[in-house]
Structure 1
Amino acid sequence: MTSLEAVSSYLPPTISVADLREPLGLDDQQVRRFTRLYGLDQICQAPDQSEAEMLLAAVGKLDALAGQEDRVRHVIRAKGLRTTAPYPVSPLQQVREVLGLRNANVFSVADHGCATGLLAVDVAGTLLAGDDDPDALALVLAGDKTFTPFSQWVADVSIMGEGMTALLVSADGPRDRVLGYHARIVGREDGVIDLDPEGAREAKRIYQDVMSDVVHSALADAELTIADVDLILPHNVNRVSWTVAAKELGIPAERIFLDNIARTGHCFCADPFINYQSARELGLLRPGATYVMTSAGLGQSFAAMVLQH
């Protein structure tokens, strides 16, 4: 059963939403909406660090990797964005070379937007399950550099942060075992993922229903119900969306971990793993606890993963 052997994160320094008014071209109403209604305050940004440097900073905190490099068979880059560096720069290859992961296949997964992190864990588990070596590991790297103005914020939805995470995944570990996973894409026929006015209206219309359906489907895959869930570790899109989601899911709002929304911004597909680490540090995950990681991304991609601590 796919397991998270270890999780680490790197959160660069932050800048306030108010200080992003000019760089993002926000007006007073938008600043108030992001801060007072959506609960955003500080946004992780690392303007002086490259994507490779930030990924290596996250891996550098992954103590469980030390001495186990030869066991890593796959390095999987989960990308919320298709492009985060100018051609021909490859941050992923830079990371592989620095870490000396000679035995690893290296590739990226994308096109699920901010739900790609959970997809990468599922892909890692599938590959490891077919490996002849029961001790084989996969290294999953999640998070994105806001490389273009387009990637720095989603109008009237959230502001993007540059936090990064690193995960060691095994095929069968003793804790943080994946019990269920479900993903769904409600895409447009023309393949457009940009939130033009029509797309934004449709995204808002379907968001809560589809997210609820995906969570319940992942729980059904695990042969559990929402009553069995001790904690939800969500994507940090904004506070108001999760206030509504708690009612749609039928779960008390205090079981949804929202502390990092004000501290980091929405760090693409790294959010659930950043929240996992924070929840562990706060003692919110007792042994045997059932928790759900969720994500949603541009292009109307949704995912949920059920795990047992």
Structure 2
Amino acid sequence: MTGIGLSRLAISVPDTVDSVEEVLRASGSSASEIKVFTRMFKLRDSPSWPLDQQMDDLLVEAGRRALADGGGADLVLYGHSLMTQEVSLRPGFAQRVLKQLDLEATPFFGISGVACTAPLRAVDLARDYVRKFPERKVLVLAGDLGATTSVARVIPRLTVLGDALGAFTVAREGVRYRHVASASRTDPRFRRGMRMDADDLRLFGRACAELVLDVLAEAANTAGIAIKDVDWVMPHLVNALAWKVFSEQVGIPHERFLLDLLPSQGHVYGLDALTSLEYADRLGKLRPGDLCALLSVGQGAYFHALIVEVVEEE
């Protein structure tokens, strides 16, 4: 038996992109800061949907693709980074989405409050649900529309934020990526998130590598493997420099870090690792048996590692 896992991923990223340089300039960044983001961090473009694009329609389209094999779903989870997402801005959001997916009687829960780790946390919750109800299937919706203003799109000294949405199912059937192991961490020292002062931000930058390593090591230990046994690392796409340093610290060759989408997409909240997983599979980079470590970091501060194994589809 394959076990509990994820289906192939239905990912939606806007065709329209904004220049990272223009976003930074509009936010008041200096010329030297722009050079750091574009040259050292390797950030070029950031995707964004038009402001009049309805989130309902985008999530429903992704959900329909995830459910294309039929059978519906017994539970819907929506993992999102932003607390002020359309869930709270437009009453009736969940009901509208469920109706368009022909799932009116299905329970719907939002997973939030853990910043950009929310989509991967949703995977764990879905896994736990299917463990208890082996014949059932969970539809996971994920992602944010956050590129509304230039100022809100910039995390100082770290990255630029863009839009993306996705969907997939978690079940015992139709599995493409078997759930192998996962781990989470929270560090209350950095609970102020974007409101941290300069000293806290510097400390956070130094602590991040250690905390990401902690969750990756715990997940690998749970899986019964060494960190070096991971075939691919699909990281949080904040910037190229952070992962170059991290790869040297943990001893995983830099070529195993899938950063292909970083220049053209960059950071799209909690969907970074999932968009990279879908991209790698679509381009034929993955083989059955490959172990992929999906990493996510959230302001607040939250850390999550998920290890999945690529399997032959049934």
TM-score of the alignment, normalized to the shorter chain, above 0.5? yes
Task: State the distance in 2 between where 1:103 and 1:6 align.
Answer: 25
- 1:284 is matched with which residue? 285
Q: Does 1:49 align with 2:50?
A: no
Contact between 1:51 and 1:91, CA under 8 Å: does it hold in 2?
A: no
User: Structure 2 residue aligned with 1:114, among 97, 102, 116?
Assistant: 116
Give structure 1 stretches of 5+ with no counterpart.
none
Q: Does 1:143 align with 2:143?
A: yes
Contact between 1:84 and 1:147, CA under 8 Å: does it hold in 2?
A: no
SS in 2 for 1:287: coil
Task: State the distance in 2 between where 1:136 and 1:93 align.
Answer: 21
SS in 2 for 1:264: coil
Task: State the distance in 2 between where 1:75 and 1:202 align.
Answer: 37
SS in 1 for 2:117: helix
Relative to structure 1, the CA distance from residue 90 to residue 82 in structure 2 (aligned partners, 3 Å threshold; closer, same or farther) is: farther
Q: Name the stretch that deviates more: 50-59 or 279-288.
A: 50-59
Task: State the distance in 1 between where 2:188 and 2:118 align.
Answer: 15
1:124-182 Cα distance to aligned partner (Å, 9 max, x none): 11112112xx3321111111111664642211211111011111111465541111100
SS in 1 for 2:7: strand
- Following TM superposition, by how much is the alpha carbon of 1:261 offset from its aligned partner in structure 2, in angstroms? 0.8
Contact between 2:6 and 2:171, CA under 8 Å: does it hold in 1?
A: yes
Give structure 2 stretches of 5+ with no counterpart.
none
- 1:26 is matched with which residue? 29
- Following TM superposition, by how much is the alpha carbon of 1:292 offset from its aligned partner in structure 2, in angstroms? 0.6
- 1:214 is matched with which residue? 215
Relative to structure 1, the CA distance from residue 303 to residue 103 in structure 2 (aligned partners, 3 Å threshold; closer, same or farther) is: same
Q: Does 1:94 align with 2:93?
A: no
Relative to structure 1, the CA distance from residue 46 to residue 148 in structure 2 (aligned partners, 3 Å threshold; closer, same or farther) is: closer
Contact between 2:4 and 2:175, CA under 8 Å: does it hold in 1?
A: no
Q: Percent identity?
A: 28
- Following TM superposition, by how much is the alpha carbon of 1:294 offset from its aligned partner in structure 2, in angstroms? 0.5
- Following TM superposition, by how much is the alpha carbon of 1:67 offset from its aligned partner in structure 2, in angstroms? 2.6
Q: Does 1:306 align with 2:307?
A: yes
Q: How does 1:1-309 map to 2 (within 5 A)?
A: 1-12=3-14, 13-47=16-50, 48-62=52-66, 64-69=67-72, 72-85=73-86, 87-131=89-133, 134-146=134-146, 149=149, 151-171=152-172, 174-188=175-189, 191-194=191-194, 195-309=196-310
Contact between 1:232 and 1:293, CA under 8 Å: does it hold in 2?
A: yes
Task: State the distance in 2 between where 1:65 and 1:173 align.
Answer: 11
Contact between 1:125 and 1:171, CA under 8 Å: does it hold in 2?
A: no
Task: State the distance in 1 between where 2:82 and 2:213 align.
Answer: 24
Relative to structure 1, the CA distance from residue 100 to residue 174 in structure 2 (aligned partners, 3 Å threshold; closer, same or farther) is: closer
SS in 2 for 1:307: strand
Contact between 1:79 and 1:143, CA under 8 Å: does it hold in 2?
A: yes
Relative to structure 1, the CA distance from residue 224 to residue 107 in structure 2 (aligned partners, 3 Å threshold; closer, same or farther) is: same
Contact between 1:73 and 1:138, CA under 8 Å: does it hold in 2?
A: yes
SS in 1 for 2:263: helix
Contact between 2:75 and 2:107, CA under 8 Å: does it hold in 1?
A: yes
Task: State the distance in 2 between where 1:228 and 1:172 align.
Answer: 26
Q: Name the stretch that deviates more: 145-154 or 79-88.
A: 145-154
Task: State the distance in 2 between where 1:91 and 1:28 align.
Answer: 41
Equivalent residue letter for 1:308: E
Relative to structure 1, the CA distance from residue 300 to residue 284 in structure 2 (aligned partners, 3 Å threshold; closer, same or farther) is: same
Task: State the distance in 1 between where 2:98 and 2:32 align.
Answer: 44
1:263-305 Cα distance to aligned partner (Å, 9 max, x none): 1120111111111110001211101111110100101210101
SS in 1 for 2:225: coil
Q: Name the stretch that deviates more: 222-231 or 13-22.
A: 13-22
Contact between 1:2 and 1:173, CA under 8 Å: does it hold in 2?
A: no
